[in-house]
Amino acid sequence: MMPRKPLLLPLVLFFAACSADIDKPKESPVKVEGDRVTLAEPDKASFLKTAVVEPDSGGELRLPGRLVWNEDRTVRVFPQLGGRVLRILAEIGAPVKAGQALATLASPDFGQAQAEARKAQADLTLARKALERNRELLDAGVIARKDWEQSEADAARAQAEADRTARRMAVLGGDGDGSYSLKSPLAGVVVERNLNPGQEFRPDQPGAPLFVVTDPTGLWIQLDATEADLARLKPGGKFALEAKQYPGERFAGTIRHVADFVDPNSRTVKVRGEVPNADRRLKGEMFVSALIGLPASGLLRVPAKAVFLVGDQRYVFVEDAPGRYVRRAIEAGAEREGRVDVASGVQAGDKVVVEGNLHLTRFFKPVSAAAAGQAAAGK
């Protein structure tokens, strides 16, 4: 038989080599030193996208808005008396003049108001005659002065009641048959009608106005601005208006009012503007955008996707070299058009990570925990 000892030596050497390969520590693909992250294989970092930090060159602030009627040129007509609709005299879209009738209404209440007015006028006539007669009797010494003064007071009360009922009839308008007309207090266009022939109504019933009359050649725009936009919004400032219904067109407008408080729920500020609409192409309740020109601020700007939050501090990753990235704290300002103003922390020309920065962030978690533990132990 052949000896077996020479075969043992190669086997021992083979297993020793395998054991050496297993025990040899593998190199970490990521190295973290303070705020610096280094990738062992930079060529495999293609999933990290960067963008260049640039100075602010100005631009436009875009705010969402809604067109509404100009309330200085709008009136909502409500009934002052209960009754029933006889005739409708103005349809939606019809131009009307100030004082023009919108509808004719039959109302028992109006008949009662007419009766009160006539009675007041009759009482006034009687009181005046009694006053004149008592004046003559006073001059003749037939009656006492107090009787004449009483007749004078009665005549004054009758005059006041007649004036009151006359003013009420002047407001209501109407005819002797007990019908009266709803009239438009101002000139404009009927944009809303909420009654039908034969409809019964009461002045105390809740609901929409019977008519809405406005001047559509001038509209208001209601804008929602953030607190960071307040410095750029002043009464009298100009803006351009865009509507998706008219692509490529812009309409001029002027800021008229900036609210004095911030909405506690939405954290927005209401801004009102005025937009001329002579051709009436813009419509009430249309959703639009207002664009306000902004001068260059002198600040640097980074894409909003590059900024991330850790605790109360905002950071970005700056590419120091291929495969090497530095986490930097920044002082971030307002966001506009997908970019954020930065007052400190970066320089013009720096490359910041805009895709994959959250992947880099996770490598700092064990380091932060260890640092916290060391700090706690040192206390």
Structural domains of the chain, with CATH? 30-56+298-374 (2.40.420.20), 61-72+216-294 (2.40.30.170), 108-175 (1.10.287.470)
Which residue did the predictor score with more confidence, 10 or 74? Answer: 74
Confidence of residue 148 (pLDDT cuts 50, 70, 90): low
Q: What is the pLDDT of residue 374?
A: 45
Confidence of residue 228 (pLDDT cuts 50, 70, 90): confident
As beta bridge partners, residue 350 has none
Q: What is the pLDDT of residue 182?
A: 82
Q: Buried b vs exposed e over 150-187: b needs ≥16 C-beta within 10 Å?
A: ebeebbeebeebbeebeeebeebebeeebbbbbbbeee
Confidence of residue 375 (pLDDT cuts 50, 70, 90): very low
Q: Tokens 């999933």 belong to which residue?
A: 47
Contact status, residue 91 vs residue 183, Cβ threshold 8 Å: no
Structure pTM? 0.59
Angle at which helix 108-139 crosses helix 145-172, to 10 degrees, equals 160
> In whole angstroms, what is the distance from residue 305 CA to residue 312 CA?
17
Average pLDDT of the chain, as a whole number: 80
pLDDT average, residue stretch 295-314: 87
Which residue did the predictor score with more confidence, 257 or 110? Answer: 257
Q: Which of the listed ranges 46-60, 87-101, 122-136 does the model predict with the highest average pLDDT?
A: 87-101
Of 130, 132, 111, 124, nearest in space to 162 by CA = 124
- The C-alpha angle 212, 214, 216, rounded to 5 degrees, equals 135
Range of weakest confidence among 1-15, 112-126, 234-248, 344-358: 1-15
